């Protein structure tokens, strides 16, 4: 009945008929309410029916959300939903909404880069303390961290210094640790001053990969690093990851260098060991990612490596992507002939449209990504500007890997309420919430990105329905096969039920305590 009435109401926007505002009946307000309900029904999660228990939890969540939004409206300087993450993070961490999201199962994480996936704070407390860690500065002025002296490889312009010795000689170890963390974290108190343009932040961002690459790929370090990547995700209620990885040479204490195959073997060993300890973690699948600035011959060589990996582990190494700053990299169309050589069993997961530009090679990558039958689109920030494409994405059920904090930190948008993800959610365009490179901006897990998704991208009135849909989207749009998805959905359902009970029990205890006081 509501649907029929809503259709009638919508006709008022396309017909010349006007509503008589002086009428004594409530037609105007009925039509207005029906239009609002219709729009809500068309958005992500609009078709989802909540159980009675979920309705109770939604009421609790919405109380937290509305209180926080109203406080932000009264005091804009405390409105975390509109603020840059570097300034909002302390506010977010005190938020009841955030604590709710931390308890919420999140299903799968489908866009995470291997070398920026661990919190910088943990790296400082752990990896930076390992014996033998060295630092030099290369010819571009970039700090290089490593466990081996190889001036030619690292292009050092300075002598190597031992990190442990530097730390011991410093006046304050805490201050030294903060300066060390600054090498691997974009955080600044004043991002608007330190990163006035996208070039400033991307230059620093890409330099940090140069800083950590040799450091992380020291074999003893890489094993614990990868374990920590899994653990930070698992602790944030993630049960499965599709990880973008690039092969680097691993090396050990004796200086022995290991081939690409060993890199993959180490990943599989660590994941298997992690699953033995945490059986409800369902594992990792790998998307082979190479830099989009490589020459054509090198891309072709890397594709051959991908094929080798895929044929050896067809259910683990499942995809291919090009990464790096899209505005400065080569467009997808430059590699069409190479893409033709990739077997159909290897899926594409292209970064595309990670730009503010319109009508450039970067946003035109969206056309090629869709024509090449990409399984998902990384970022897809510019998709909203291309109506034919976003309609095609919706019809073909191609999910957009939306990474709110990444898009903000890397200078595409300051106020996340203006992020095109809001449009994607309003149109029920397939979306999965992802975190991209959380270690490089002081985040971990998905809770921070979910905070912005529900507080900034979603309607003020959106609650558990949209959250639940986004969580289940993460499984639906994963590359898990039918049997694996059944297992994942079963695990997620059990976790979701426990989550609901936990929220309700916590709320009852709080209410009882208030009553007693």
Question: In terms of pLDDT, which residue wins out, 492 or 48?
Answer: 492
Tell me if residue 354 is catalytic: yes
> DSSP per residue over 39-100, as a string?
HHHHSTTTTPPPPHHHHHHHHHHHHHHHHHHHHHHH-GGG-GGGS-HHHHHHHHHT-HHHHH
Tokens 């309900």 -> residue: 37
Residue 353, pLDDT > 90, answer: yes
Listed in sequence order, the DSSP H helices in 278-416 are 296-312, 336-339, 361-371, 387-396, 404-409
State the pLDDT at residue 11.
59
Closest by CA position to 467, among listed 269, 459, 267:
459
Residues found in the chain: 517
Q: Which two tokens stand for residue 441?
A: 């901006």
Mean pLDDT value of segment 496-515: 91
Q: Are strands 284-291 and 250-251 parallel, antiparallel or unpaired?
A: unpaired
The half-sphere exposure of 153 on its side-chain side, counting CA atoms within 13 A, is: 12
Q: Which two tokens stand for residue 301?
A: 């060589």
Angle 350-351-355 (CA atoms, 0-180°, nearest 5)?
145
Rounded Cα–Cα distance for residues 189 and 201 (Å)? 14
| CA-CA-CA-CA torsion sign (142, 145, 146, 147) | positive
pLDDT tens for 477-491 read: 999 999 999 999 999
Give residues with Cβ within 8 angstroms of 10, minimum separation 6. 35, 38
Rounded Cα–Cα distance for residues 224 and 232 (Å)? 12
Q: Which two tokens stand for residue 337?
A: 């002939």
In 3-state terms, the chain is what percent helix, strand and coil (to 5)?
A: 55, 10, 30
Burial 33-55 (b: 16+ CB within 10 A, else e): ebeebbebeebbbbeeeeeeebe
Q: Which one of the listed residues 379, 386, 411, 419 is annotated catalytic?
A: 379
Q: Which two tokens stand for residue 38?
A: 């219709």
Rounded Cα–Cα distance for residues 233 and 267 (Å)? 16
Which domains occur in the chain, in start order? 92-119+196-492 (3.20.20.140)
Q: Which two tokens stand for residue 279?
A: 């059986």
Residue 288, beta-bridge partner list: 245, 320
State the pLDDT at residue 79.
96
Q: Helix 52-74 to helix 464-476 angle, to the nearest 10 degrees?
A: 110
Largest distance between two CA atoms of the chain: 88
Residue 170, pLDDT > 60, answer: yes
Closest by CA position to 106, among listed 274, 233, 242:
233
Rounded Cα–Cα distance for residues 371 and 6 (Å)? 36
Contact 88, 95 (CB under 8 A): no
State the pLDDT at residue 35.
83
pLDDT tens for 292-347 read: 999 999 999 999 999 999 999 999 999 999 999 999 999 999 999 999 999 999 99
Rounded Cα–Cα distance for residues 128 and 125 (Å)? 7
Contact 448, 410 (CB under 8 A): no
Q: Are strands 143-146 and 134-137 parallel, antiparallel or unpaired?
A: antiparallel
Tokens 């030099």 -> residue: 136
Residue 2, pLDDT > 50, answer: no
Listed in sequence order, the DSSP H helices in 410-481 are 421-426, 447-452, 464-476
Q: Which two tokens stand for residue 59?
A: 């009421």
State the pLDDT at residue 36.
82
Mean pLDDT value of segment 175-179: 95
Q: Which one of the listed residues 54, 181, 326, 354 is annotated catalytic?
A: 354
pLDDT tens for 255-292 read: 899 988 899 999 999 999 999 999 999 999 999 999 99
Residue 457 is given by DSSP the state I
State the pLDDT at residue 13.
57
Q: What separation, in Å, do the N-terminal and C-terminal C-alpha atoms of the chain show? A: 47
């Amino acid at each position: 009945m509501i649907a029929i009435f809503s259709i009638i109401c919508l006709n008022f926007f396309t017909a010349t008929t006007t509503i008589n505002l002086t009428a004594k009946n409530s037609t105007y307000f009925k039509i207005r309410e029906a239009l609002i309900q219709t729009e809500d029904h068309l958005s992500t999660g609009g078709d989802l029916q909540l159980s009675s228990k979920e309705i109770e939890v939604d009421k609790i969540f919405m109380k937290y959300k509305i209180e926080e939004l109203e406080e932000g409206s009264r005091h804009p300087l405390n409105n975390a939903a509109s603020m840059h993450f570097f300034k909002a993070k302390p506010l977010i961490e005190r938020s009841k909404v955030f604590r709710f999201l931390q308890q919420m199962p999140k299903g799968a994480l489908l866009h995470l880069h291997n070398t920026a996936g661990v919190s910088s704070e943990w790296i400082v407390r752990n990896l930076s303390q390992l014996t033998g860690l060295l630092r030099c500065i290369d010819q571009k002025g970039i700090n290089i961290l490593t466990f081996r002296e190889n001036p030619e490889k690292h292009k050092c312009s300075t002598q190597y210094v031992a990190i442990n010795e530097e730390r011991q000689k410093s006046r304050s170890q805490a201050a030294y640790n903060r300066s060390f963390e600054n090498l691997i974290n974009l955080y600044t108190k004043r991002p608007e001053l330190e990163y006035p343009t996208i070039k400033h932040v991307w230059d620093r961002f890409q330099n940090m990969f140069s800083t950590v690459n040799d450091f992380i790929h020291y074999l003893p370090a890489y094993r614990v690093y990868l374990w920590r990547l899994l653990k930070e995700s698992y602790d944030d209620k993630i049960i499965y990851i599709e990880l973008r990885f690039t092969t680097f040479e691993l090396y050990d204490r004796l200086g022995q260098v290991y081939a690409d195959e060993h890199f993959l073997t180490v990943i599989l060993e660590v994941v298997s060991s992690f699953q033995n300890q945490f059986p409800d973690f369902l594992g990792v699948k790998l998307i082979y990612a190479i830099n989009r600035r490589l020459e054509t011959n090198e891309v072709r060589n890397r594709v051959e490596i991908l094929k080798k990996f895929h044929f050896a582990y067809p259910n683990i190494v499942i995809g291919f992507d090009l990464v790096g700053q899209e505005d400065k990299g080569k467009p997808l169309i430059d590699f069409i002939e190479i893409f033709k050589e990739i077997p159909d069993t290897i899926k594409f997961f292209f970064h595309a449209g990670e730009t503010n530009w319109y009508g450039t090679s970067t946003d035109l990558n969206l056309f090629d990504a869709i024509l090449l039958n990409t399984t998902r689109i990384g970022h897809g920030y510019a998709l909203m500007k291309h109506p034919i494409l976003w309609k095609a994405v919706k019809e073909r059920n191609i999910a957009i890997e939306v990474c709110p904090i990444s898009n903000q930190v890397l200078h595409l948008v300051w106020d996340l309420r203006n992020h095109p993800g809001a449009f994607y959610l309003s149109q029920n365009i397939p979306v999965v919430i992802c975190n991209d490179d959380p270690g490089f901006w002081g985040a971990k897990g998905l809770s921070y990105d979910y905070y912005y998704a529900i507080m900034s991208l979603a309607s003020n009135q959106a609650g558990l329905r949209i959250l639940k849909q986004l969580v289940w989207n993460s499984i639906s749009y994963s590359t898990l096969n039918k049997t694996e998805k059944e297992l994942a959905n079963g695990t997620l359902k059990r976790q979701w039920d426990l989550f609901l009970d936990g929220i309700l029990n916590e709320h009852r205890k709080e209410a009882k305590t208030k009553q007693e006081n």
